[in-house]
Amino acid sequence: MVEQCPYCELEYGDFRTGLTYRDVYEMLWSGSEDPEDWTYKRRHTILGKWHQLKQELWELHLEMCRRQAEYEASGEPDDEVPF
């Protein structure tokens, strides 16, 4: 079964994070001189982090679409903004 946004009908497979492999790689950079703080930046680590980010952004997308649909249906803005 394909996961789809119930509001805008965007499919999860078509959803993009807007990030590149390099962007995710650089997110894992610690900037520390202490090797204890370093993160292994192998392919699996980077792709796993990218997958995690996509899932988080997908949940945010679903929430934003839900709020937009509620706003359009009621004409009243939602008081609680998650960010």
Encoded amino acid at 18, one letter: G
Is the Cβ–Cβ distance between 51 and 21 less than 8 Å?
no
Provide the sign of the torsion angle of the four alpha carbons 52, 54, 56, 62, taken in this order: negative
Mean pLDDT, each 10-residue run in order, the chain (83 residues): 91 97 94 86 96 98 95 73 60
Query: What is the model's pTM?
Result: 0.79
Q: Which residues fall within 8 angstroms of residue 43, CB to CB, at 6 or more apart?
A: none
